[in-house]
Amino acid sequence: MKNLILICFVLLGSLVNAQHTEVVKDTVSFTEDKNNIEISITLAIDSSWIVYDSIAGEDGPIPFSILLEGQPIGVENVEKPKVYKKHDELFEMDLYYLKGVVTYVVKFSKKEVSSTGVLNGSYEFMSCNLTSGVCLPPSQHTFSYVLGSALK
């Protein structure tokens, strides 16, 4: 039943998507020094919208996630923004979400990067409107970075 309700919200969100084409504006930046790389993913979320955080439960909405091609990202490598909590009757669980302008920062050693010298990855998130309850389909974004591009 929960999944059916989620599907209905996602389908309804698809219809609304034409009106709200960019409720979350995202940017990715890279910082690199001799030994380390840092990826910053910033989300600027419109005032009446939220993005679900990476610690949402399995039966809830699609949470924010980051994937690096061929590289596992442990929670210990991610600096997380401030997270808000609310109990959601629809999902019958506590949900954790983001609002405003937030930045996830992923730090790791260059030794963890593939030998090709190129870092490929992606991130995904789902946003919902706090006023109407409408959720948009999950949004997926990819990035690519050539090692040495951001060296000072």
Per-run averaged pLDDT (10 residues), the chain, 152 residues? 51 47 90 87 94 74 84 62 84 86 86 73 91 89 85 56
Domain coverage including residue 127: 2-146
- Rounded Cα distance between 109 and 119, Å, is 12
The pTM for the full model equals: 0.77
Asked whether residue 53 is assigned to any structural domain, the reply reads yes
Asked whether residue 58 is assigned to any structural domain, the reply reads yes
The CATH code of the domain that includes 80 is 2.60.40.1250
- What pLDDT is stored for residue 8 in this prediction? 47
Question: Which amino acid, one-letter code, is at 136?
Answer: L
Asked whether residue 76 is assigned to any structural domain, the reply reads yes
Give the SS3 label for residue 5.
helix
Number of domains in the chain: 1
43 alpha-carbon distance from chain centroid: 8
Asked whether residue 128 is assigned to any structural domain, the reply reads yes
Asked whether residue 61 is assigned to any structural domain, the reply reads yes
- Rounded Cα distance between 4 and 73, Å, is 31
Give the SS3 label for residue 47.
coil
Asked whether residue 152 is assigned to any structural domain, the reply reads no
Start-to-end CA span in the chain (Å): 54
- What pLDDT is stored for residue 4 in this prediction? 47
Give the SS3 label for residue 78.
strand
- What pLDDT is stored for residue 16 in this prediction? 47
- Rounded Cα distance between 73 and 106, Å, is 8
Asked whether residue 151 is assigned to any structural domain, the reply reads no
**75 Cβ contact list (under 8 Å, min separation 6):** none
- What pLDDT is stored for residue 18 in this prediction? 42
Asked whether residue 13 is assigned to any structural domain, the reply reads yes
